[in-house]
């Protein structure tokens, strides 16, 4: 940006914090143009509005960790050799000057409205759905289903857990930044707690996603542990010796450098394997979802009903389906819009 205008850390801070708003504005223009091009229809307008909200919230969730880091970094100041207190992560900004005060005000608002407000709003939505029993209502599911449809009913709030864990990791990374060893130990301890909690809950409906989550948590723990091992001297001979590049031929540092090289190679292989595994499961789930949509479309054509407006009357469903396919909890009722077990089952068209 320096080629176009004077750029500073403050501009970078504001740009990253306002990215969700910019993305929302672009989405509003895009979906607004789509609505104007089509025939006026209240149902289509509602659908476009829901899609815009989903896109904005999804983008905010993706950049949530970055937003947390930027908000926490504002409060980190230290005194530099020239005797001036500056921001640790933006030395060009003096602390407690007008620029810094403005960033603090924006960060405080963001911490209340977005960092803390988004999880609280999601929890309130889940609480209302549980209280009203509206989880299976078509309108409610269309608005909020992307938050909870992939989780078991008793863990529909798990998306808020994912947000809060990102906030905690970001806080540890910024607040404990001067103590890297303590920082790494705290992160490993926190990840261990998350791993045990996830292993107990298994919140995802798809078992392979549960496995992938456990694998990535263990991978992050291993990666952090590798960072801790790379930071100090590892071997007994290198203790108390600063092993730099110039001392790579030093007998005391040679074994230490070789061991760190092996650790780095293992970490790189682990990271590549984790990325490959994530891509495999992502493609697998996309394909499975596509097959399910195709099956729903074919079934809706055969029954003459709209696929996204069709549901099953639960008592009839329970009586009509054979025992191996009978829904014993609301997970199956929620995760299968139209079931292939339709013998003797009454399909109902939902009226708006």
pLDDT in tens, 284-343: 877 877 787 777 777 767 666 544 444 433 333 333 444 444 444 444 444 444 443 443
- 340 found inside a domain: yes
- pLDDT for 290 equals 76
- 217 found inside a domain: no
Burial class (CB in 10 A: 0-12, 13-18, 19+), 261: exposed
Closest CA to 223 of 170, 162, 273: 273
Report yes or no: 300 and 307 within 8 Å, Cβ to Cβ. yes
Question: What tens digit of pLDDT does each residue of 227-259 get?
Answer: 777 766 655 555 555 666 566 666 667 777 777
- 7 found inside a domain: no
How many Å separate Cα 223 from the centre of its chain? 19
Give CA–CA dist 133/336, Å, rounded: 18
- 322 found inside a domain: yes
Report yes or no: 256 and 297 within 8 Å, Cβ to Cβ. no
- 318 found inside a domain: yes
CB crowding 31-55: b at 16 or more within 10 Å, else e: beeebeeeeeeeeeeeebebebbbb
- pLDDT for 252 equals 66
Low-confidence ranges of the chain (pLDDT < 70): 1-2, 38-42, 231-252, 300, 302-352
Give CA–CA dist 232/263, Å, rounded: 13
| Structural domain span for residue 328 | 305-352
3-state secondary structure of 242: coil
- 336 found inside a domain: yes
- pLDDT for 101 equals 92
- 102 found inside a domain: no
- 245 found inside a domain: no
- pLDDT for 312 equals 39
Give CA–CA dist 93/24, Å, rounded: 29
> How many domains does the chain contain in total?
1
H-helix segments, the chain: 9-17, 19-37, 42-62, 64-73, 98-110, 117-132, 138-148, 158-175, 180-201, 207-230, 251-303, 314-320, 330-335
């Amino acid at each position: 940006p320096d080629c176009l205008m004077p750029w500073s850390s403050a501009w970078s801070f504001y740009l990253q914090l306002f990215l969700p708003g910019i993305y929302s504005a672009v989405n509003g223009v895009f979906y607004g143009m789509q609505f104007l091009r089509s025939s006026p229809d209240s149902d289509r307008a509602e659908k476009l509005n829901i899609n815009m909200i989903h896109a904005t919230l999804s983008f905010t969730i993706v950049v949530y960790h970055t937003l947390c880091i930027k908000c926490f970094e504002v409060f980190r100041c230290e005194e530099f050799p020239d005797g001036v207190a500056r921001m640790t992560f933006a030395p060009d900004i003096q602390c407690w000057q007008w620029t810094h005060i403005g960033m603090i005000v924006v960060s405080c608002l963001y911490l209340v409205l977005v960092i803390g407000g988004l999880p609280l709003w999601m929890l309130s939505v889940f609480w209302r759905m549980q209280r009203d029993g509206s989880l299976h209502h078509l309108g409610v599911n269309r608005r909020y289903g992307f938050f909870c449809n992939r989780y078991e009913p008793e863990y529909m709030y798990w998306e808020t857990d994912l947000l809060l864990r990102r906030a905690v990791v970001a806080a540890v990374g910024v607040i404990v930044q001067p103590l890297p060893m303590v920082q790494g130990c705290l992160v490993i301890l926190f990840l261990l707690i998350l791993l045990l909690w996830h292993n107990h809950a298994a919140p995802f409906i798809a078992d392979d996603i549960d496995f992938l989550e456990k694998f990535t948590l263990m991978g992050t723990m291993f990666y952090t542990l590798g960072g801790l091992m790379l930071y100090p001297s590892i071997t007994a001979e290198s203790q108390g010796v600063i092993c730099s590049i110039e001392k790579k031929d030093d007998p005391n540092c040679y074994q230490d450098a070789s061991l760190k090289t092996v650790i780095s190679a293992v970490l790189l292989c682990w990271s590549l394997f984790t990325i490959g595994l994530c891509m495999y499961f992502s493609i697998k789930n996309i394909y499975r979802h596509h097959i399910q949509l195709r099956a729903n479309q074919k079934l809706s054509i055969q029954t003459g009903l709209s696929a996204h407006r069709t549901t099953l009357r639960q008592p009839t469903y329970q009586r009509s389906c054979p025992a191996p396919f009978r829904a014993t909890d609301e997970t199956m009722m929620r995760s299968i819009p139209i079931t292939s077990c339709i013998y003797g089952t009454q399909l109902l068209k939902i009226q708006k």
